[in-house]
């Protein structure tokens, strides 16, 4: 699935948000710094212009592969084993839903109100969030789900002896793979943040204590002069009690 300019537009929009500090909360929960995120986005955009031939029928898009590597990195940094397992299962579910969508929507695209190539990232983003739930899990599920569809296309061509070339990783920034991951994280952030506010705070069940501490609002630090005055007052009270 190539020639998807919305993926490039989404990356540029995300870069602007990161540059102005509007995406700091999301990146912090995904354990990425602003500089690292901007470097990865730049690598995805640049790598999208390079297709490396693997065989006569398979090429690898560098931008798409960088996105897949990022998804694996985020999965490896997941807080618990449960989150990792859930993300892997979510990726399988997303791939299955995309396969069914391609089977029924791709047959006669002229009869659909929207181009199927726009449906795939939307479906992947929504299913990736619903199954993965966490920001890391949603991104992994959406990206790997679209990647599985590319691999499935190659298997279909080989099995049916149909001529054609498949780009593993799609077209990078010009492919639905990138936009699907961004959409999944966006849904996880908006819906997840809303639910947390309704519940009065983040869910702490089965989460590491270190992560829970990071999610809580930090207590304001006492100023040195205020603390010194407090200690002097306490000292005076102790002296009075002794007298």
Encoded tokens for 20: 């102005």
Task: Please report the pLDDT score of residue 11 as a whole number.
Answer: 85
Q: Rounded to an integer, what distance in angstroms lies between the CA atom of residue 234 and that of residue 160?
A: 84
**Considering the chain, what is the average pLDDT of its residues?**
75
Task: Please report the pLDDT score of residue 162 as a whole number.
Answer: 84
Farthest CA pair distance, the chain: 99
Q: For 155-188, write each residue's pLDDT tens digit.
A: 888 888 888 888 887 666 667 788 888 888 888 8
Flag the least confident range among 12-26, 63-77, 213-227: 213-227
Q: In this model, does residue 145 exceed pLDDT 70?
A: yes
Task: Please report the pLDDT score of residue 109 as a whole number.
Answer: 45
Helix runs in the chain, H state only: 5-19, 24-29, 34-47, 62-76, 81-105, 116-132, 135-159, 176-199, 209-215, 224-242
Flag the least confident range among 46-50, 92-96, 145-149, 207-211: 207-211
Q: In this model, does residue 72 exceed pLDDT 90?
A: yes
Q: For 96-121, write each residue's pLDDT tens digit.
A: 888 887 777 654 444 555 555 667 77
Q: Which H helix or E strand runs over 59?
A: strand 58-61
Q: Rounded to an integer, what distance in angstroms lies between the CA atom of residue 111 and that of residue 22?
A: 40
Q: Rounded to an integer, what distance in angstroms lies between the CA atom of residue 204 and that of residue 161?
A: 52
What number is the average pLDDT over the span 55-65?
87
**Residue ranges of the domains in the chain?**
5-215
Q: Rounded to an integer, what distance in angstroms lies between the CA atom of residue 131 and that of residue 109?
A: 27
Residues 6+ apart with CB under 8 A from 40: 32, 66, 70
- Confidence band, pLDDT 50/70/90 cuts, at residue 230: very low
């Amino acid at each position: 699935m190539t020639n998807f300019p919305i993926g490039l537009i989404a990356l540029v929009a995300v870069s602007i948000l990161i540059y102005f500090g509007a995406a700091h909360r999301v990146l912090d929960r995904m354990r990425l710094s602003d500089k690292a995120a901007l470097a990865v986005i730049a690598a995805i955009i640049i790598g999208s212009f390079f297709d490396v031939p693997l065989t006569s029928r398979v090429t690898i898009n560098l931008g798409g592969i960088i996105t897949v590597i990022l998804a694996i990195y985020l999965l490896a940094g997941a807080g618990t084993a449960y989150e990792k397992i859930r993300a892997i299962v979510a990726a399988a579910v997303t791939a299955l839903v995309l396969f069914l969508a391609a089977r029924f929507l791709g047959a006669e695209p002229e009869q659909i109100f929207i181009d199927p190539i726009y449906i795939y990232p939307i479906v992947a983003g929504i299913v990736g969030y619903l199954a993965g739930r966490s920001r890391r899990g949603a991104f992994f599920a959406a990206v790997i789900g679209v990647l599985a569809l590319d691999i499935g296309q190659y298997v279909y061509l080989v099995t049916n002896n149909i001529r054609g070339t498949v780009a593993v990783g799609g077209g990078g920034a010009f492919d639905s793979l990138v936009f699907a991951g961004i959409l999944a994280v966006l849904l996880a952030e908006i819906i997840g943040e809303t639910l947390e506010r309704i519940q009065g705070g983040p869910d702490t069940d089965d989460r590491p204590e270190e992560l829970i501490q990071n999610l809580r609002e930090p207590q304001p630090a006492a100023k040195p002069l205020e603390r010194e005055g407090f200690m002097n007052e306490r000292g005076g009270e102790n002296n009075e009690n002794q007298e």
